[in-house]
Amino acid sequence: MGFPDRIERTVEIAHPPGTVWTALTTAEGLGAWFGNEATIDLRPGGSARMTWTGGHTADLRIERVDEPMVFGFTWQIYGLPEDDPRRTYVEFTLEPAGGGTRLTVVETGFAQLPEDAYRKAYDGNTDGWAKELGELVAYLDAA
Partner 1 sequence: MNWSPTSMPPDNEAIAEQVFVALADPTRRSILAALATGGPATATDLAGGLPISRQAIAKHLAVLAQAGLLTAEPGERRRVRYRLRSAPMQVAQQFLAALARDWDGSLDALKSHLER
Query: What DSSP string runs through 88-112?
Result: EEEEEEEEEETTEEEEEEEEE-TT-
3-state SS assignment for residue 75 = strand
Alpha-carbon dihedral sign for residues 81, 83, 85, 89: positive
Element (H, E) at 21: helix 17-25
Residue 133 sits in the site that holds partner 1 (CB under 8 A)? no
Q: Judging by DSSP bridges, how do beta strands 6-13 and 87-97 pair with one another? A: unpaired
91 counts as binding partner 1 under rule CB under 8 A:
no
Torsion of the alpha carbons at 120, 111, 36 and 99, rounded to the nearest 10 = 140
Give, as one character, the DSSP assignment of residue 74.
Answer: E
Among 36-44, 53-61, 75-83, 134-142, the segment contacting partner 1 (CB under 8 A): 75-83
Does position 80 interact with partner 1 (CB under 8 A)? The reply is yes
Say whether residue 139 binds partner 1 (CB under 8 A). no
Choice from 110, 129, 135, 138 touching partner 1 (CB under 8 A): 110
In this complex, which beta carbon is closest to partner 1, that of residue 3 or of residue 139? 3
Nearer to partner 1, 80 or 138 (CB): 80
- Indicate whether 102 belongs to the interface with partner 1 (CB under 8 A): no
* Sites of contact with partner 1 (CB under 8 A): 2-5, 7, 9, 11, 13-15, 19-20, 23-24, 29, 32-34, 77-81, 84, 86, 88, 103, 105, 107, 110-115, 119, 122
